[in-house]
Amino acid sequence: MKQFSPSCERNKESILTVLQEVLPASGVVLEIGSGSGQHAAYFARALPQLEWQPSDVAENLPSIRAWRAEAGLPNLREPLLLDLFAEPWPVTSVQALVCINTVHIVSWPGVEKLFTGAGRLLASGAVMFVYGPYRYSTRPLEPSNEEFDRWLKARDAQSGVRLFEDVNALAHENGLMLAGDRAMPANNRSIWWIKK
C-alpha cells in the first residue's frame, strides 16, 4: 500500500524552501500527481497554515491514504481521484496548485489539461508551481536530463522533458504570468506563475 519514493526524500527539502516563499499564507493547495503521498505528508506538516489537498489517478490513492493516515495531520485532506483527462475535475476552487515531476510523465495533451485546469481553478493572484527537469531553447540540455529524456521516451513515446518555452506559452494562454524560474539540485527547476 504505502509506496516509498527515494527521489521525494532527496528533493522534498529544497522544494519546501521554494514553496515557503511562493505559496499563500492560507488556503487550499491542490497537488496534482501526488504519487506516493510522501510530499503531501511532508509539506502539510511543514506548512500547517495551509490545507494540503493531494490527488492522483486511482492506482496511487492507496499509498497517499497510507501516508496520510500515518501523518495524522488535520490539514492533510483525503486524496482526490483527479485524472487530468477526466473532466470535470473534483474541485472547483483552490488557492494554489502544485505539480511535481509530472509534466514530463504525462503526454503533451495532459500538460495542456493541467494548464487549462489551472487557468480555470485559480483566482487572480493565485500561484501555480511546477518542479522537474526542463529543456531551454537557449542552451543544451544537461547530459543527465538528455539520458533521462531518452529513458522516458523509450518507456512512453508521448512523455519527455518539456521545452520551457512551450510550457510557458501554454501557461500564458491560460492567463498565467511567469513569476519565477529557479535552478534546483540535480538539474531540476522550480517554475511558478501567477494568475492574471
Ligand X SMILES: C[S@@+](CC[C@H](N)C(=O)[O-])C[C@H]1O[C@@H](n2cnc3c(N)ncnc32)[C@H](O)[C@@H]1O
Residues lying near ligand X in the complex (CB under 6 A) are found at 5, 7-8, 32-36, 39, 56-57, 60, 82-85, 100-102, 105-106, 110
The residue among 39 and 135 lying less far from ligand X, judged by its C-beta, is 39
Q: Cell for 168?
A: 510557458
Q: How far is the CB of 172 from ligand X (least distance, A)?
A: 22
Using the minimum distance from each CB to ligand X, give the nearer residue, 98 or 124.
98
Closer to ligand X by Cβ: residue 34 or 145: 34
CB of 4 or CB of 177, closer to ligand X: 4
Dihedral class, residue 161 (left if φ above 0, else alpha if ψ from -120 to 50, else beta): beta
- Residue 84 or 196: the one with the smaller Cβ distance to ligand X is 84
Cis peptide before 140 (omega within 30 of 0): no
Contacts of 186 (CB under 8 A, 6+ apart): 10, 11, 144
Please tell me the distance from the alpha carbon of residue 16 to that of residue 155, in angstroms, as a whole number.
Answer: 30
Instruction: Classify residue 103 by its DSSP letter.
Output: T
What is the smallest separation between the CB atom of 55 and ligand X, expressed in angstroms? 7
Q: Which three cell numbers stand for residue 98?
A: 502544485
On whether the CB atoms of residues 118 and 97 are closer than 8 A, the answer is yes
Minimum separation from the CB atom of position 148 to ligand X (A): 11
According to DSSP, the residues that pair with 126 across neighbouring strands are none
Q: C-beta of 51: minimal distance to ligand X in Å?
A: 18
Rounded to a whole number of angstroms, the minimum distance from the CB of residue 99 to ligand X is 7
